[in-house]
């Protein structure tokens, strides 16, 4: 009896330590990023967030192009991926079980592809393809830019969003569906009036999952985004994202530039943290609704 | 008996392997092809230390040698003597290499397109935006240029010694470039898109029709991209193979003064070997070895 008590308490303590360490690391990360970026905040103040200037020769930096680039690519990726993911999820729920299983594995496989592979595919296939396609429309572009990055991101977040939506759609009460069929609804009407209504809730969940993944994505974006620190005037122009800017410059940066990059890291961390908080609020709200 | 002999031999081999010193270097990607050839040949040639070289970029190399995580660093942008003293570093020149503009135009052969310095800087400043520009056509009466094809400038997205060499050249030949952009490892590019490191720029140029970029010569050859002819001060055009190619950069090795004696001796032995026996490999890869007097001076003053 004593022995079991001892094991119990040891286990509890080990768990406590593990959780504590994880929490402490998160806090330490924020502290570290804040202190390392203090020089940048001190030099540029809030202007760092609002300035579009990025000139390493004269040591003047602004974070706005990278922030806008991040939001733009992520937003457009969601815009492309959400409807696709919803249709995929609907198909997976409605298809015959055998087919649904194969398709489901196929979509899950998309999530297993390393992001650098997506990047290479983007560089070697997608960008030249976009260039050719837009030339047919007599639009001059080199293929690299916001649109290419968003397309790649959309493909990357699709399986995650699809998985969330599939699970929500599966929870549609069978009774509702059968009742709809019973009163003579066609499959389309059933999908529109039952699944779509019910699945609207899944939309928000999908958005949060996709946002979290797309915001910090580095490698795939780096290859195709064009890496120019400017605010793009249209979707075919190159831009940069926070994570791409960090990956491009961090290894070689020193002094003020390094501090600015730490500040960018802090901004990205706060952005993802904000999305986490929103997602938690959303989850709590839906739990109450179900409860 | 036989087994024990084999065992002894294996142990001996293992122990001699373990005793071999490994020196780690990192830095510029510009001379990396030569360094990799050299370490390979050196290991085969002499029973010296095993050498490792990672091409992570000049700035990263300097940051790492300052932090003391590597034994030597390669850099294309030299530190000033006070900077060296401040960080306790020794800097020696190793090689010179060519930086070449590379272009991707349909049916264009290597070293066929001629660009004057004014045209080259105008392209990189974004003043010439299409390959049908009369200024390009005037310099290339015998080249069939596209009727219309936008120019996409490709530059390095990371901080780079190659960029330093190239922008220093542009600043040298164009006052406008000097005033508006300046020279440095990372500058505010007026136009174009960025690729990662030398291979990234080559890949991006080879994927975009109408692209122009710049890279170290060996990388251009490996990627089979068309280089251009550039003009010297007398108005004479040169190909990148010629000895009078105008965009040249010297690359340097840095190591710490407070380095462990044994490791330092091993590194010096390797560098002496590079100076004495490395020229043929460097020339095969289209780099230019240092002039003999410079080598002699480095050997006498630093690597004695």
Does residue A114 lie within any of the structural domains?
yes
Q: How far is B201 from chain A (nearest CA, A)?
A: 11
pLDDT of residue B235: 84
Taking an 8 Å cut-off on Cβ atoms, the answer to whether A249 and B194 are in contact is: no
The verdict on B261 and B244 lying in the same domain is: no
**Interface size, chain A vs chain B, as Cβ–Cβ contacts under 8 Å:** 85
Asked if residue A21 is part of any domain, the answer here is no
Min distance B202 CA to chain A CA atoms (Å): 12
pLDDT value for B120: 95
Task: Test A248 with B63 for CB contact under 8 angstroms.
Answer: no
- Shared-domain flag, residues B132 and B270: no
Last residue within a domain, chosen from B248, B269, B293: B248
CB B198 within 8 A of CB B221: no
Could you tell me if B93 lies within 8 Å of chain A, comparing CB atoms?
Answer: no
The answer to whether residue A15 sits within a structural domain is no
Nearest CB to B184: which of A56, A227, A253?
A: A56
User: Which of these, B101, B225, B157, lies nearest to A226 by C-alpha position?
Assistant: B157
Mutation for testing the B interface, residue in A128, A142, A260 having most B CBs under 10 Å? A142
**Residue B194 near residue B79 (C-beta atoms within 8 A):** no
Please give the residue range of the domain that contains residue A227.
37-290
Q: What percentage of chain B exceeds 90 in pLDDT?
A: 48
Return all residues near B301 (Cβ < 8 A) that are at least 6 apart: none
Q: Do residue B144 and residue B262 come from a single domain? A: no
* A148 in any annotated domain: yes
Lowest average pLDDT, out of A89-98, B97-106, B223-232, goes to: A89-98
* Residues in Cβ contact with B197 at an 8 Å cutoff, skipping those fewer than 6 apart: B29, B55, B57, B156, B158, B160
Same domain, B184 and B232: yes
Work out the number of other CB atoms within 10 angstroms of the CB of residue A53. Answer: 14
Nearest to B270 by CA among B30, B33, B43, B27: B43
* pLDDT value, residue B3: 56
What is the chain B residue with the closest CA to A236? Answer: B193
**Among residues B150, B128, B206, B129, which one has the least CA distance to residue A139?**
B150
Q: Does B86 share its domain with B108?
A: no
CA distance B158 to B176: 24
Determine the pLDDT at residue B7.
Answer: 54
Q: DSSP character for B152?
A: E
Q: What is the model's pLDDT at position B73? A: 94
Q: What is the CATH number of the domain that holds A190?
A: 1.10.3720.10
B211 and B104 belong to one structural domain: yes
CA distance A225 to chain B (A): 9
pLDDT (tens digit per residue) in B122-178: 999 999 999 999 999 999 998 999 988 999 999 998 888 899 999 999 999 999 999
> How high is the pLDDT of residue A213?
84
- Mutation site, B73, B154, B159, interface A, largest A CB count within 10 A: B159
* CA–CA separation, B199 and B183 (whole Å): 22
Residue B246: alpha-carbon gap to chain centroid: 15
pLDDT at B177: 95
3-state secondary structure of A55: strand
Kindly tell me if the per-residue pLDDT of B191 is higher than 60.
yes
**Which residue in the block uniquely carries the two structure tokens 């103040």?**
A45
Taking the mean position of all CA atoms in its chain, how far away is CA B67? 23
Where is the domain boundary, B248, B269, B289? Answer: B248
Say yes or no: B146 and B241 in one domain: yes
Q: Do B63 and A142 touch (CB under 8 A)?
A: no
Q: Tell me chain A's radius of gyration from C-alpha atoms.
A: 23
Residue A188 has a pLDDT of 80
| Mean pLDDT of all residues in B48-74 | 89
B196 at A interface, C-beta within 8 A: yes
Q: What is the pLDDT of residue B118?
A: 93
Chain-chain contact of B187 with A56 (C-beta, under 8 angstroms): yes
* pLDDT 10s digits, A208-233: 878 888 888 888 999 999 998 889 98
pLDDT for residue A102 is more than 50: yes
Write out the residues of chain A at the interface with chain B, using a CB-CB cutoff of 8 A.
Answer: 54-58, 123-124, 127-128, 131, 140, 142-145, 222-223, 226-228, 238, 244, 248-249, 251-254
pLDDT for A14-65, tens place per residue?
999 999 999 999 999 999 999 999 999 999 999 999 999 898 888 899 999 9
| Tens digits of residue pLDDT in B204-252 | 999 999 999 999 998 999 999 999 999 888 888 998 887 789 998 899 9
Q: State what percent of residues in chain A have pLDDT above 70.
A: 96
* Max Cα distance, chain A (Å): 81
- Whether residue B5 is predicted with pLDDT greater than 60 in this model: the reply is no
Residue A86 belongs to some domain of the structure: yes
Nearest to A265 by CA among A291, A241, A238, A246: A246
**Count of the separate structural domains present in chain A:** 1
**CATH code at position B189:** 3.40.190.10
Q: Nearest to residue A227, comparing CAs of B66, B201, B3?
A: B201
**Which of A284-288, B63-67, B246-250, B253-257 is least confident?**
A284-288
pLDDT above 80 for A3:
no
Average pLDDT over residues A95-123: 89
Task: Give mean pLDDT, residues B245-260.
Answer: 91
Q: Is B188 on the interface with A (CB under 8 A)?
A: yes
CB–CB of A128 and B186 under 8 A?
Answer: no
Which chain B residue has its CA at the smallest distance from A135's CA?
B149
| Residue B9: per-residue pLDDT | 54
The answer to whether residue B193 neighbours chain A at the CB level (below 8 Å) is yes
- Residue with token string 């019973």: A182
Looking at the fold, whether B104 and B85 belong to one and the same domain comes out as no
Put simply, the answer to whether A251 touches B194 (Cβ < 8 Å) is no
pLDDT classification of A290: cutoffs 50, 70, 90: low
DSSP track, B236-268: -EE-TTSTT-S-EEEEEEEEETT--HHHHHHHH
Q: Is A170 within the bounds of a domain?
A: yes
The span from the CA of B48 to the CA of B41, in Å, is: 11
**Same domain? B88 vs B180:** no
- Give the pLDDT confidence score for residue A291 in this predicted structure: 47
Interchain contact, A131 vs B56, CB within 8 Å:
no
Mean pLDDT, range B94-121, rounded to an integer: 93
Query: Is A32 exposed, middle or buried (CB count within 10 Å of its CB: 0-12, 13-18, 19+)?
Result: middle
Q: What is the sign of the dihedral through the CA atoms of A85, A88, A93 and A99?
A: negative
- Segments forming the whole domain that contains residue B37: 2-96+250-301
> Percentage of chain B surpassing pLDDT 70?
94
Mutation to test the B interface, candidates A251, A255, A257, A258, most B Cβ within 10 Å: A251
**Does B59 contact A251 at a Cβ distance shorter than 8 Å?**
yes
> What does the block give as tokens for A180?
């709809």
Query: Nearest Cα to A286, choosing from A227, A208, A218, A220?
Result: A208
Which among B158, B188, B203 has the least Cβ separation from residue A252? B158
Confidence of residue A289 (pLDDT cuts 50, 70, 90): low
Last residue of a domain, one of B231, B248, B265: B248
The answer to whether residue A166 is domain-embedded is yes
Token digits of residue A268:
């990205």
| Domain identity same for B225 and B266 | no
Q: Is the ipTM of this complex over 0.90?
A: no
Domain count, chain B: 2
- Residues B152 and B243 placed together within one structural domain of the fold: yes
Same domain for B216 and B111: yes
């Amino acid at each position: 009896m004593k022995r079991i008590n001892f094991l119990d308490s040891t286990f509890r303590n080990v768990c406590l330590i593990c959780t504590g360490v994880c929490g402490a690391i998160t806090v330490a990360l924020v502290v570290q990023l804040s202190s390392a970026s203090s020089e940048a905040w001190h030099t540029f103040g809030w202007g760092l967030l609002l300035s579009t200037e990025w000139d390493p020769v004269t040591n003047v930096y602004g974070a706005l192009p990278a922030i806008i680039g991040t939001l733009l690519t992520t937003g457009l990726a969601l815009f492309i991926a959400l409807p696709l993911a919803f249709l995929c999820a609907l198909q997976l729920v409605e298809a015959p079980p055998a087919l649904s299983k194969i398709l489901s594995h196929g979509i899950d496989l998309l999530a297993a592809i390393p992001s650098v592979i997506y990047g290479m595919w983007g560089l070697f296939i997608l960008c030249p393809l976009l260039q050719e396609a837009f030339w047919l429309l007599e639009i001059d572009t080199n293929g690299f830019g916001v649109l290419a990055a968003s397309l790649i991101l959309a493909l990357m977040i699709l399986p995650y969003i699809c998985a969330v939506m599939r699970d929500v759609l599966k929870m549609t009460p069978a009774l509702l569906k059968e009742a709809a069929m019973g009163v003579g609804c066609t499959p389309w009407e059933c999908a529109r009036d039952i699944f779509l209504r019910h699945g609207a809730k899944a939309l928000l969940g999908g958005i949060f999952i996709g946002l979290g993944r797309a915001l910090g994505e580095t490698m795939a974006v780096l290859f195709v985004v064009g890496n120019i620190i400017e605010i793009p005037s249209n979707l075919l122009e190159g831009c940069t994202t926070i994570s791409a800017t960090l990956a491009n410059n961090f290894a070689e940066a020193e002094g003020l530039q390094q501090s600015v990059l730490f500040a960018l890291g802090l901004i990205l961390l706060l952005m993802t943290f904000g999305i986490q908080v929103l997602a938690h609020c959303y989850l709590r709200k839906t739990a109450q609704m179900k409860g | 008996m036989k087994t024990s002999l084999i065992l002894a031999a294996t142990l001996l081999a293992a122990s001699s392997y373990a005793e071999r010193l490994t020196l780690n270097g990192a830095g510029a990607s510009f001379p990396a092809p030569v360094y990799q050839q050299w370490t390979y040949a050196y290991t085969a040639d002499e029973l010296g230390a095993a050498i490792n070289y990672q091409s992570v970029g000049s700035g990263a190399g300097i940051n790492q040698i300052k932090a003391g995580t590597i034994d030597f660093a390669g850099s294309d942008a030299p530190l000033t003597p006070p900077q060296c003293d401040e960080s306790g570093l020794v800097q020696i020149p190793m090689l010179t290499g060519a930086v070449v503009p590379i272009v991707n135009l349909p049916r264009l052969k290597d070293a066929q397109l001629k660009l004057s310095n004014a045209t080259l800087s105008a392209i990189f400043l974004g003043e010439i935006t299409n390959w049908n520009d009369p200024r390009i056509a005037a310099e290339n009466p015998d080249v069939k240029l596209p009727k219309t094809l936008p120019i996409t400038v490709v530059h390095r997205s990371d901080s780079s010694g190659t960029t330093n060499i190239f922008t220093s050249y542009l600043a040298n030949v164009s006052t406008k470039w000097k005033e508006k952009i300046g020279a440095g490892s990372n500058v505010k590019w007026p136009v174009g898109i960025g690729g990662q490191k030398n291979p990234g720029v080559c890949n991006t140029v080879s994927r975009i029709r109408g692209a122009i970029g710049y890279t170290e010569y060996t990388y251009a050859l490996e990627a089979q991209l068309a280089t251009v002819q550039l003009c010297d001060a007398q108005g004479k055009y040169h190909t990148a193979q010629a000895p009078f190619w105008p965009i040249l950069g010297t690359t340097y090795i840095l190591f710490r003064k407070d380095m462990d004696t044994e490791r330092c001796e091993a590194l010096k032995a390797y560098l002496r070997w590079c100076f004495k026996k490395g020229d043929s490999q460097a020339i095969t890869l289209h780099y230019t070895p240092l002039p003999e007097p410079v080598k002699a001076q480095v050997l006498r003053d630093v690597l004695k």
